[in-house]
A and B are shown apart, each in its own frame.
Chain A
Amino acid sequence: MNKRKREGLASNSDNMSDAERIVYNVIHSKQNMGIWMADIKRETSLPESMIKKSIKMLQTKGEIKEVVNIKNKSRKHYMAAGFEPADEITGGSWYSEGKLDQEYIFRLRQVCLNYISRNVIANRDGILEFINRGGYFSGTTTQEVDQILGNLVLDDKIIEVKSTGYGDYEKFPVGRVCYRCKSKGGVNNGEGKIGAMASIPCGVCPRINLCSPDGYISPKTCEFYQKWLDF
């Protein structure tokens, strides 16, 4: 027992050179936030070559690991082996290896949308239960479902309503936040109503500010109009 404990400690300090120990302590003190290479240099005041060598040694020994910092992927960022990177570093549960996990988001959105369109009205707990029971994804959290639902509302695919306790809302207590599909016929696959401005070339023109009746870009010579009126 005693021996094993001593071994554990030894792995942290006994096997290290002085420089390695200093570097390790700085990295360890930052816990799950980790630290940038340049900050190690600033905090330890050791020469860069020595820091690089120490980091290499510490990595080989499995004491520290390199992590991707979402805010600056090109920076070398290190963290003690015992910690899991904080959300600020990884970007949260939607990020994997420093990239937004578009596929996971897309699939989770589809599952939520399908469930709501089938049930007309749904609340978050019902959706979460459906996801977990179906075993679509491992360990989807309440926060994740909330965020996906919030996103679908922002995309105008579903709308947030409060249960009135009558009719379609019978299953839900009065005042409970529920979600329903935007269009009455089910999932709104179209991109909503196109406004008056958005349906003419000028409404989507990136160069409208450069356009004038007698200018280089003018409605008479406009390529967008040409395409629009090409019957």
Chain B
Amino acid sequence: MVSQYGFKFAIHLITNHFGKIVAKVCETLFRKGPLSLGEIIRSTELTPEQVKNSLLVLVQHNCVQAYVPADQFRGEDGSMATVEYLALFDNIIHRLRFPKFLEIAKHQLDDECEKVLDGLLRDGRLTLKQMVERAVQGKENPGAIEAVVRESFHKLLKAHYIERCPAPEPVVSTLIKAESAPRKRGSKMAKKFEAPETIEQRVLEAAVPGEAIRFAVTAYTLGNADREAKSDDSSMVNDGDNSGGIANEGSILWRANFEEFIRHLRHKLLVENERKRLDDGAATILSAILDVTKTVEKKVKIEKSAPLSLDSIFTEVTKTEHGRTMTIDRVRASLVQLGCPQRNFDDSYSIDLKSIVEMARNEEVESIVLKRFGSDAYRIFRLLSKSNCFLETDKIAESALVDKKETPRLLYKLWKDNYLYMEKLVVTAAKQSRFMLWKVNKPLLWEYVLDEMYHAALNLSLRLAFEQEKDEDLLHVPADKLVPADKSSEANALQKRYRRLRDVLFLMGSSLMKLDDALMLFHDF
């Protein structure tokens, strides 16, 4: 469930990028869930033309996915089908991260790849032909440029940083599956409980092409197995079969594969956190393991790395620059540090990635507590967070060495701001006495902190726009006027103002990017 401020921030991003009308359509979809075209027109009170155009923009930029609910699907031609539109929250928030994605492409591949990706991010979806056209426009020597674009395209595709666009209107069953229906209470069932699949997950799953098609340049390279496996892919496959490779370039649409970028960023966070907590050696080993196992990762949020034998880990580690000098004993010792004290039965190691993410989340929350509530509250909070159970007020004061009068006040403050969970316990023995029990409820707290972070990101973004607007005239001043050629007070004042604006924009921009790292930590990782 996305938080209230998450939606507000997403709508703010859409307003900034595509204007108010598109944002209104998007807001309606968030508020009411998936809707048909007619329903959107009725709810937004916009003209059909405006709604249609808005949806086209949103679909083009991968912010909305259309689908046909299975119960409304009539026959193969689909003439009776009502298409519904679903707003994709994650993809909208990813728009904030485009600079990071470009940086990854530039750093890991090259500048040319960054340019091709930039085109895709700006236009949402492009065919290879359009990518080439975009690059050669107004340039000399189009032949050479085309070759570079094609090469970059293949590099990006090989790294899975781009993918084929999903099926335009997949048929999705919106009925709740029998397995997820509530059954009788029982300990076994309780253990096996998993969050029910949301419509969004199901639609995305149905729309995404099979693994082989998703990253294939030409459709006819597919095996039959894939065709049989996914009926929705068949239309794409046929496109390819009829027209061959060159024609495909004008019909197959490509887009950036956000999932792969997020996976890359998650791996980076995991490695850097372990580097900070342990040492460079442990970080090198974790990085090597993640690199080799990423191809088998089915989703971004995996809890444990795929099992690898010590030999394969060692081979991978020695391939890296920093791992070349490591001995097998050193690798084994670092694996123990990384939380693999014992090998699995089949002589393989698998790293608990979830716990690294949780540690990073704890750190972020604790740092907020320290800044907002002070060092005594920080100690109390960490005591409760580490013990992970209910503790009584007096016990907390004793363990944290905080004054007994002060402790309830701090606990109350933390509780009032939703950082703690409290329960009252009334004991009626000889004398009635009331106890207050306190606990950190991590999943609930993380959800709350994430909402506050979306709120903060929205505020930061609004203030950034406000600062820009306030000093808009400065942005149009020619550069030579900002260099103090004459020493008049007017020129000085102008320069001072310009310097302030530059610092403000830099500070706010980098803070927003840092805050976005935290948003990913709590939402995507």
A residues sitting closer than 8 Å to B (CB atoms) are 70-71, 91-92, 94, 99-100, 105, 147-148, 150-151, 154-156, 191-200, 202-204, 206, 208, 211, 213, 218-220, 222, 225, 228-229, 231
Contacts and interface: CB of A to CB of B under 8 A. Distances in A.
B364 A195 contact: yes
A94 B401 contact: yes
A229 B507 contact: yes
B517 interface: yes
A225 B363 CA distance: 24
- 9 closest A-B pairs (Cβ-Cβ)? A202-B456, A195-B367, A219-B459, A196-B518, A198-B371, A195-B364, A196-B514, A198-B367, A219-B463
B372 A203 contact: yes
Given A91-B404, A198-B368, A211-B459, 11 more contacts: A154-B386, A194-B371, A195-B368, A197-B518, A202-B459, A206-B372, A219-B462, A219-B466, A229-B507, A231-B499, A231-B500
B515 A196 contact: yes
Interface residues of B, number: 46
B205 interface: no
A151 B379 contact: yes
A222 B382 contact: no
Nearest to B470: A220
B503 interface: yes
Contacts of B378: 155
Contacts of B403: 99-100
A106 to B, nearest CB: 10
17 contacts: A151-B401, A154-B379, A156-B382, A193-B363, A194-B367, A195-B367, A198-B364, A198-B368, A198-B370, A198-B371, A200-B460, A200-B511, A200-B515, A202-B459, A203-B371, A204-B371, A219-B458
Contacts of B508: 229
Interface of A is mostly: loop
B107 to A, nearest CB: 21
A92 B517 CA distance: 45
A36 to B, nearest CB: 12
A220 B507 CA distance: 16
B399 A150 contact: yes
B405 to A, nearest CB: 8
Contacts of B449: 197
Nearest to A206: B372
A216 B386 CA distance: 39
A225 B470 CA distance: 15
A70 B394 CA distance: 11
B467 interface: yes
Pick the most buried of A71, A196, A198: most chain B CB atoms within 10 A of its CB. Answer: A196
A216 B400 CA distance: 38
A196 B518 CA distance: 6
A229 B371 CA distance: 18
A199 B462 contact: no
A192 to B, nearest CB: 7
Contacts of A195: 363-365, 367-368, 518
Nearest to B12: A213
Nearest to A213: B462
Contacts of B145: none
Contacts of B499: 231
Contacts of A198: 364, 367-368, 370-372
Contacts of B401: 94, 100, 105, 147-148, 151
Interface in B352-408: 363-368, 370-372, 375, 378-379, 382-383, 386, 398-404
B504 interface: yes
Contacts of B417: 206
B455 A155 contact: no
A199 B514 contact: yes
Contact of B367 (A151, A197, A218): A197
Given A195-B518, A197-B456, A202-B456, A154 B467 contact: no
B260 interface: no
B453 interface: yes
B382 A154 contact: yes
A197 B462 contact: no
B453 A197 contact: yes
A222 B398 contact: no
A100 B459 contact: no
Contacts of B383: 154
Given A100-B404, A196-B514, A229 B467 contact: yes
